Amino acid sequence: MRIFNTMAAHAIPLVPRSLIRKISRRYIAGETLGDARTRIHALHAAGFRTTVDVLGETASSAEQAESMAREYLNLIEAFGAQNERTELSIKLTALGLHLDEGACMERVSVILREAISRGISACIDMEDTRFTQKTLDAFLHLEADGYLVGIALQAYLARTNDDIAPLVARRSRMRICKGIYAEAKEHLVDGASTDRAAINPHFIRHVSTAIQAGSFVGIATHDAQLIDTLTHWLRSERIDRSRFEFQMLLGVCEPLRDALLAQGFNVRVYVPYGHDWYGYSTRRIKENPRIAGYILAAMMWRDRSR
């Protein structure tokens, strides 16, 4: 079955967009800010924390980057007015990092100032390796300027072993995930290109090192074995639950998510919305081949029933 699912993941570009859109409804709140507000309000009522992500990467023009900045500001105003204490996920390329770094940083500063005034936190998301260093540099600049902001790190990158050291020394706020972008083998930790489980020892080391140093850590994974290992470690070390949280994507591993919340852990749900649903959905599907297998099986069944 695993071979079938892996083959299905590679065949995703051939799947009709209409079917991808149907599947995406599980992982995306909707296309509008109103859709996101409705889903986030329900999650807060159930006891979860949330991060809101405006879908879209790599702005193609300054105008597009400005439009994204306005969307963030509208988002902040809407959630601030409702006193919904969500967190922003900020992708710097969506705000023009690759077009004009100075203009991008000014947009981010405006967004963060407004967010702070409304009691809304933020995390700088990590993208593919073309932007890793620039993203880290931008984060260090924002942190030095006094903004309360976190940074995402990807455990599957070999360079994270070095990148995390200065962050740990400063007790920076971090979100540690495995990583989803397709990268050349030389960028990855040994074995990660063929076996996602090979990332786990690196993930555990990064999380434990950061927490022990005094950083707040968002543990972003759906790997049940990895979560089990970490919960045992957190309990054995008697780590106060205010110093970390588990983070999971909307619509993914919901029974595991609910179980963590029931055990008294803080759980944050990553809630994306926007018009760029196709790119986000295909990355999620490729990351989880079982979903791809389900889609391909559904297509085959539909063709046979005609």
The contacts of residue 221 (CB under 8 Å, 6+ apart) are 177, 178, 203, 227, 246, 248
Whole-model pTM: value is 0.88
Contact 45, 39 (CB under 8 A): no
- 187-222 burial, b at 16+ Cβ within 10 Å, e below that, comes to bbbeebbeeeeebbebbbebbbebbebebbbbbbbb
Cα separation, 235 vs 279, in Å, equals 38
How far is the CA of 93 from the CAs of 96, 127, 182, in angstroms? 5, 8, 17
Domain ranges of the chain: 1-28+277-306, 33-273
Q: Is 302 a catalytic residue?
A: no
Helix (H, G, I), strand (E, B) or coil at 89: strand
Nearest to 6 by CA among 232, 296, 300: 296
Q: Which CATH class is domain 33-273?
A: alpha beta
Q: Indicate which residue of 37, 49, 107, 175 is catalytic.
A: 175
Q: Is 35 a catalytic residue?
A: no
Query: For 267-299, how does the pLDDT look when each residue is reduced to its tens digit (9 = 90+)?
Result: 999 999 998 777 777 766 666 665 555 555 554
Q: Indicate which residue of 39, 49, 125, 173 is catalytic.
A: 125
Query: For 182-240, how does the pLDDT look when each residue is reduced to its tens digit (9 = 90+)?
Result: 777 888 888 877 788 899 999 999 999 999 999 999 999 999 999 999 999 999 999 99
Cα separation, 296 vs 5, in Å, equals 8
